[in-house]
Amino acid sequence: MESFTAGLISLEDARQKMLAQLTPLTDSERLSIYRAAGRITAAPVVSPLNVPPFDNSAMDGYAVRLADLGGDALPVAGKAFAGAPFSGDWPAGSCIRIMTGAPVPAGAEAVVMQEESVPEGDRVRFTAAVKAGQNIRRAGEDIRQGDSVLTAGVRLGAAELPLIASLGIGEVDVLRRLRVAIFSTGDELQPVGEPLAAGQIYDTNRFAVRLMLDALGCEVIDLGIIRDDPDALRAAFLRADREADLVISSGGVSVGEADYTKAMLDELGEITFWKLAIKPGKPFAFGRLSQSWFCGLPGNPVSAAVTFYQLVQPLLAKLSGLQAAALPPRQRARAVSRLKKSPGRLDFQRGLFSRGEDGELQVASTGHQGSHVFSSFSQANCFIVLERDRGSVEPGEWVEIEPFNALLGG
């Protein structure tokens, strides 16, 4: 099959080219709401009932009929509590003591709050004008039976699941989890826990990618470290392709290694090797294997994390059926430190933003920005996104920042 090496391609173009090819998952399953956290709705969630289900009081006070007001103080004919409605006879010329959340007795036209009443012996007098309907929450005011409360494609979290529970819905249709196979390539890599021999380093990328996939609710198939050997690599790709919806490898796509990976991938699918016009993260591969999608991340850990975050994350969002934007909106902030840059690529420096004394956002670099310096992430809470044509930034200049989402601890 065909593959090619394109020239420098912008992040936006790469993102769009990838997304244009994908169609979202549609397989779904029905889950208890106790097991649905982090999952994505497969269909709209429709309310089986009115919320609130009955007219009820918004205040502690007295339920009244308007015709009974304006004269003497009224006797109290009974009580209505939340969970214990008033059920007796309500004689004309009397009122009902009522608590917040209690069903409003039939015929009541308003609730007078306790603070606007004074006792007079065993009667009460109201001290303020009463408007029809005041302090009554109407049945269906919040949600009407048959309303769709969530659309399809919503990730279920602490804002959504309690809403579903409040409607008495115990099970929800969710899309199946994406299966993602991952491996790192490189003769120099050792897994954590093994001693390092001369020239070896620990495998950072598989750990980082795994964490981010977990956070995105994917099912991870971890194939470990694959040596720079065509047979081992081919076997890994074949297995990954069989078992997963998406295969993510790291390493082996930079100039020195791309030809060899490319030759092998040409047998297995249709893969494009991009030189992205971003820094860090220039080499990146994307395409189709026989049954699954493939993303090849660069080997340098910062480049791998940035390309995962900026490219794979939106891809996963689309593939998994998520409707919301995968990345937080960018904002303007004033640089408070010098940011070194040469024109030519869109730069994702790691920064720490905060609110300055003038009320504006400000951002500082978190230090050395090399694509192998992973520590630049741990103190950061945002990317400083510097335009392709821009050179170094002096303190005081305005820049764009992109706050980290939960994937990077934002």
Residue 291 carries which DSSP code? S
Q: For the segment 286-305, give every residue that binds ligand AMP (CB under 6 A).
A: 298-301
Contacts of residue 173, defined as CB under 8 A and 6 or more positions apart, other chains included, come to 28, 29, 30, 41, 42, 43
Interaction of residue 281 with ligand AMP, rule CB under 6 A: no
Comparing every residue's Cβ against ligand AMP, the nearest one is: 299
- Stretch in the footprint of ligand AMP (CB under 6 A) among 13-21, 117-125, 252-260, 345-353: 252-260
What are residue 97's DSSP bridge partners?
62, 79
204 binds, among Mg ion, ligand AMP, none (CB under 5 to 8 A by kind): ligand AMP
CB of 371 to ligand AMP, least distance (A): 8
55 binds, among ligand AMP, Mg ion, none (CB under 5 to 8 A by kind): none
Q: Applying CB under 6 A, does 403 fall inside the site for ligand AMP?
A: no
Q: Which residues contact 210 (CB under 8 A, 6 or more apart)?
A: 182, 220, 222
Min dist. Cβ of residue 34 to ligand AMP (A): 37
Residue 314 interacts with ligand AMP (CB under 6 A)? no
Pairing of strands 74-80, 95-98: parallel
CA dist 184 and 300 (Å) reads 11
For residue 380, the minimal CB distance to ligand AMP (Å) is: 19
Residue 269 as a binder of ligand AMP (CB under 6 A): the answer is no
Least separation, in Å, of the C-beta of 241 and Mg ion? 21
147: its two tokens: 């309303």
**Pairing of the two strands 346-355 and 293-297:** unpaired
Closest separation in Å from C-beta 211 to Mg ion = 21
Which of the listed partners (Mg ion, ligand AMP, none) does 103 bind, with a CB threshold of 5 to 8 Å by partner kind?
none
376 is a site residue for ligand AMP (CB under 6 A): no
**Which residues, at least 6 apart from 177, have a Cβ–Cβ distance to it below 8 Å?**
39, 217, 218, 219, 320
Which residue number, 147 or 257, has a Cβ lying nearer to ligand AMP? 257
Select from ligand AMP, Mg ion, none the partner in contact with residue 203, using the beta carbon and a kind-dependent cut-off of 5 to 8 Å: ligand AMP
Q: Does 188 bind ligand AMP (CB under 6 A)?
A: yes
Asked if 104 and 110 count as a contact pair (C-beta separation under 8 A), the reply is no
61, 111 contact by CB (below 8 A): yes
- Return the number of the residue (251 or 296) whose C-beta is nearest Mg ion: 251
Nearer to ligand AMP, 103 or 301 (CB): 301
* 83 DSSP assignment: T
CA distances from 389 to 171, 341, 385 (A): 52, 10, 12
184 binding ligand AMP? (CB under 6 A):
yes
| Residues shown for the chain | 410
Cis preceding-peptide flag for 52 (omega within 30 of 0)? yes
**Residue closer to Mg ion, measured from CB, 114 or 190:** 190
Sort 323 into a burial class: Cβ within 10 Å, 0-12 / 13-18 / 19+.
middle
154 near ligand AMP, rule: CB under 6 A: no
Identity of the residue, 68 or 228, whose beta carbon is nearer to ligand AMP in the bound complex: 228
Separation CA 298–CA 216 (nearest Å): 21
Q: Which residues contact 393 (CB under 8 A, 6 or more apart)?
A: 335, 338, 339, 341, 386, 399
201 binds, among ligand AMP, Mg ion, none (CB under 5 to 8 A by kind): ligand AMP
**Does residue 222 bind ligand AMP (CB under 6 A)?**
no
Size of site (CB under 6 A) for ligand AMP: 20
Read off φ and ψ for residue 19, nearest 5 degrees.
Answer: -65, -35
* Among Mg ion, ligand AMP, none, residue 189 binds (CB under 5-8 Å by kind): ligand AMP
Is there binding between residue 116 and ligand AMP (CB under 6 A)?
A: no
Q: What is the DSSP letter of 325?
A: -
Q: Which is nearer to ligand AMP, 150 or 181 (CB)?
A: 181
Q: Which residues between 198 and 217 bind ligand AMP (CB under 6 A)? A: 201, 203-206
CB of 297 to ligand AMP, least distance (A): 8
Tokens found for residue 271:
């893969």
Closest CA to 40 of 196, 167, 160: 160
Would you count residue 13 as binding ligand AMP (CB under 6 A)? no
For residues 86 and 78, give the distance between their C-alpha atoms in angstroms, rounded to a whole number.
7
- Name the residues that contact ligand AMP, by CB under 6 A: 184, 186, 188-189, 201, 203-206, 250-254, 256-257, 298-301
